[in-house]
Amino acid sequence: MKKHTEMVLYLILIGILALLDQVIKILVRSYLTSSSFVEIIPNFIHLTYQENRGISFSFLSNLPDMVRVPALAGVSFVVVAGIFIYLFIYWAKLVTVEKVGYSLILAGAIGNLIDRAFRQQVTDYMYFHFYDKSFFVNNLADDLISVGFVILILYSFLSRKTDEPEK
């Protein structure tokens, strides 16, 4: 498959995943409250509605809006732009698993960037817990970023192992 045709297919995948993230967030904001819990997997995952003004685990959420909003949206934009530039330059050298990993990261980063830029906060809705022990609340964009990162890390370790010369 030609470089540009393949890249367009991945861009479509990125767009669909970022759009899906936004549609789910709109539905969550429309139908859930911070006090509502919809059980998905008993004693493990519930749907709820939370707004995160910061980044992971609400880090930096207490900064003044005039600092927090441009800083977080700006960093998110720089990360998205940097990954796009990297992919444009190195696309032909990447294997499929790397393209998938970066595509998932980009889709998630774009989904959260849209929230930060237009809503000044990120909508979270998947509440992970084990019975009464709470872990975190996140969203599809966060999961896409995490899965993409894990794919790239695993591939990095597995490809190094196979590249080692035999002794």
Which residues have C-beta within 8 Å of that of residue 27, sequence separation ≥ 6? Answer: none
In terms of Cα–Cα distance, which of 96, 72, 74 is closest to 13? 96
143 in active site: no
In terms of Cα–Cα distance, which of 84, 75, 120, 73 is closest to 10? 84
Q: Which amino acid is at 101?
A: G
Residue 101 near residue 17 (C-beta atoms within 8 A): no
142 in active site: yes
Residue in 65, 132, 142, 163 annotated catalytic? 142
Q: Which amino acid is at 44?
A: F
Residue 109 near residue 145 (C-beta atoms within 8 A): yes
Residue in 124, 132, 143, 163 annotated catalytic? 124
Residues annotated catalytic, as ranges: 124, 142
